Amino acid sequence: MSENTRTALITGASRGLGLALARRLAEDGWSLVIGGRDAEALEAARAELSGAASVAAVPGDVSEGAHRLALAEAVRNSGGLDLLVNNASMLGPSPQPELMEYPLDALEEVFRVNVFAPLALIRAAKENLNSGAAIINVTSDAAIQNYEGWGGYGSSKAALDQMTNILAAERGDLRVYALDPGDMRTRMHQSAFPDEDISDRPLPEESVPGIIRLIEGDLPSGRYEARGLPEEPRIKELRVAITADDFDAARRFYGEGLGLPVADEWSGESGNGVIFSAPDTTVEILDRRQSEFVDEVEAKGHASGHVRLAVEAGDVGETAAALRDAGARMVGGTAVETPWGDMNARLETPDGLQITLFHPIEEKEAVR
């Protein structure tokens, strides 16, 4: 195993979310320790995953101490742990009884699997947690919603949430997350809704990108929803590169006119360049019809061309005046109120690009 290989322990990785996550981590080069009670199903998962990764399969029940020790031993053998995912969980009796009728021995078992086992496993593995390791305890919206019939499973997940919360406070050196994967088309979900067609529920694979974002990102410890955590964009910066015939005029326009700070600047035999920093940047794509409509509204039909800059200003009138001083010219007359609720003005920059200045009208008036 290479020195850089990271190791993840995932409980309940023989099917459902655990297996979907294991597949993704294997593809990403992680080494895995996986668990589950059904040894045959776990071996099938191991055989599949080991095509892409080094995988140790440790069959057993997370509520049993001997199994947790065996998982910790496997982790030790793989050189320490970078990620522990407490994913294995128990729904309890189905159809789920209401709390007044919930058999107490069944409730105890649900808590043993969903609450005590995750903490006990973290404790069994604690000597082997590498620095910066993440712990993910898989929770559910049933922890915070009062769905009738979900009192056993829901209260166990609520306890898991709060345990996660406090562990995070006590162990600031670790990243400790409670992660709600959302509804998923899995065996557990089918057992919860035995008579329902659950084919409209998303597959567990759809919850995986959010979990990867949690693992690879630097979000603080806390509770997150997998589908509220989109993958990081592939790019780190979007830079608009403009060729200006009059370099000094363009420099003045973006520096003094728009007030952008210089991030880098150079001058040499091959020519001059300057990079300005800009606040939030977004990319807007319009189809031809929408683009012509915008041209009509804010520029009396003057076509903006293939690329137009759009800048949210504190005050369109004042900014337009500053930009005119910095060499821009108005296109299509004065500022206009748009049908979509903004105040817009269209100008042309000294380098020949059209630029829209806008501010939302309501927000502006609220400030006044």
Ligand X SMILES: NC(=O)c1ccc[n+]([C@@H]2O[C@H](COP(=O)([O-])OP(=O)(O)OC[C@H]3O[C@@H](n4cnc5c(N)ncnc54)[C@H](OP(=O)(O)O)[C@@H]3O)[C@@H](O)[C@H]2O)c1
Which residues here bind ligand X, judged by CB under 6 A?
Answer: 11-18, 35-38, 41, 61-63, 87-90, 113, 138, 140, 181, 183-184, 186-189, 204
Pick 46 or 346: Cβ nearer ligand X: 46
To the query of whether residue 177 is one of the catalytic residues in this protein, the response is no
Smallest gap from Cβ 40 to ligand X, in A, equals: 9
> What are the respective helix, strand and coil percentages of the chain, to the nearest 5?
40, 20, 40
Quote the least distance from Cβ 103 to ligand X, whole Å: 18
**Under a CB-based contact definition with an 8 Å cutoff, are residues 295 and 301 in contact?**
yes
Specify the residue, 15 or 251, whose C-beta has the smaller distance to ligand X.
15
Closest distance to ligand X from the beta carbon of 32 (Å): 13
Q: Which is nearer to ligand X, 74 or 113 (CB)?
A: 113
Q: Which of 102, 147, 153, 254 is flagged as catalytic?
A: 153
How far is CA 278 from each of CA 49, 237, 238, 275, 321, rounded to the nearest angstrom?
Answer: 45, 11, 10, 9, 20
Note whether 208 and 8 are within 8 A (CB). no
Longest dimension (CA), the chain: 84
User: Which one, 184 or 244, has the nearer CB to ligand X?
Assistant: 184
- Whichever of 36 and 327 has its CB closer to ligand X, that residue is 36
Least spacing, CB of residue 93 vs ligand X, in Å: 14
Q: Least Å distance between CB 80 and ligand X?
A: 22
HSE of 195, CA atoms in CB hemisphere, 13 A: 2
Handedness of CA 160, 166, 169, 170 (dihedral sign): negative
**DSSP alpha helices (H): ranges in the chain?**
16-27, 39-49, 65-77, 104-111, 117-125, 151-170, 187-192, 208-216, 247-252, 288-299, 316-325, 361-367
Q: Which residues are catalytic?
A: 153
